[in-house]
Structure 1
């Protein structure tokens, strides 16, 4: 009958390191004789050792890979050894100068302190390094995704739409024409989605700043949206003309906010655009509509950390606004309008603040 094979895990090593430090504390208490001072010294060493043991107990729940945990343990052992060597060097200097010093306390205390500092600091360092590696991998993934959308999916959509054009020019009856129109609508929607996705990636990858006069920018974008939606009335309330330094995609983000409001507001009610400066000196743009409101799952996707499926281009438009404002060191909020609708608020630092 074979015995079960014991698998050594990183927490076992950390626990052994803590037990070693605890043993050093007890050894100091046993070898240095009785006395309140020796007892307090041993208490300090054992207390630090228990901190190392507690870290070992929580180690399995840390969001670090197995190899990363072993790396943190090696760092802890290295730091503990370095602290012990430093303590021995200090004791040696004292001995040369004829000063008394307790070698056992210095070595035990330095080893325990080095173990605690090494394992705690090592875990944080390894975790930060792994998160950085994940972020780099995500950047590569986004770049690949952008290239696929640009070269593969978009090209295939253009080919499909070209074939639909040729089919539509032929006389196949009303049913065929209706099927072609339906297919065209869905393909155009998918093409728009790919374009917006590429734009989001482009915004995220661009680290530049451009100065805008907000009032002038709002007036230009309002005119463009009013021409595209002639049945929608857009009212304005401008208080000042702040100058902001933001991401170059700010005009696109402002137009996305205006188009979103225009598409979801009844024709007999006006969209209201306000511009002001808050008490902190930041520029605030609000676009208020009286539509049915933005779906809750899309608001949760913007404001929360959970992944939410985006089933149409409205959600992608919100992400264009979000990332533009985020990379401009501003804030983006979605608020409920009274009695119905949504208030989209963008707050940006002025050029003077930046």
Structure 2
């Protein structure tokens, strides 16, 4: 019933797990104490008497062993607490039922050799049975949670594969066609070389950017969930802003970033922040493009905001991200926002898209703050 785990995520970690172990251990200690008291007053002069004396010690030993196995189990703190509650609750119920049996016998004028033994024995048997039921219940709940997590992971993999397939079939094909078209026009001298070179370079950068994003998505596909680690997003945001300011000298980039803002993130969080800032610049067709990068923190959340004065994110693209899937007629432009959304979700955060005044948009990454 109880599966032992040798990993770091042992079942007893956390306050809930400690309380659960304490409840089961208390039941074992109480059963043992009951056996000691009974043995001190019960003569052992026949096999039945010996069995009656040894019975509480057997239950106490079983509960003690169960406590050790529970500590090493993979049920998690909540599962361990559930087992502890079942153990104590069933033990109390068994004691009450034993007391009712004693009361009924007394009402019938029947004489019991040891009424206390009946009541305490009922409690001990109830605690042992409660442990077994609690272990089954906790295992059932853990299995359901694991199956739900696997189902969510499968659905996300399907989503990521559909988006990758769309990018490979649609975006890359379109950019390749544009490059080929301008190359043909250059060959036939139907267009000025400067215009053609600029267009070809722009589309080539798009292809390279799509390839890099596809590689990052592949990292997300390689594992069920990226390992969580402490990440300071302040230098990440500052580096992304400096990188964009150097690459696009015509864009005004403002920042309001504190010295430090640690979050519970992953190794791909840096790529998500860079993608967000670059997208704000690349899609900004304003005469005086302006991007503002800010990082704010409260007690539980760190918010990374990227605001621009560009045309804004189309409503259709926002709806695609909210729906969580694409169709042949309704899809987002590229992998950028999908990558940002997936990485932030992996960090137990969320992405909010809003308006930035009369024009432009603001995208906020809400991430769990690290202690």
- TM-score w.r.t. structure 2 length? 0.47
- TM-score w.r.t. structure 1 length? 0.49
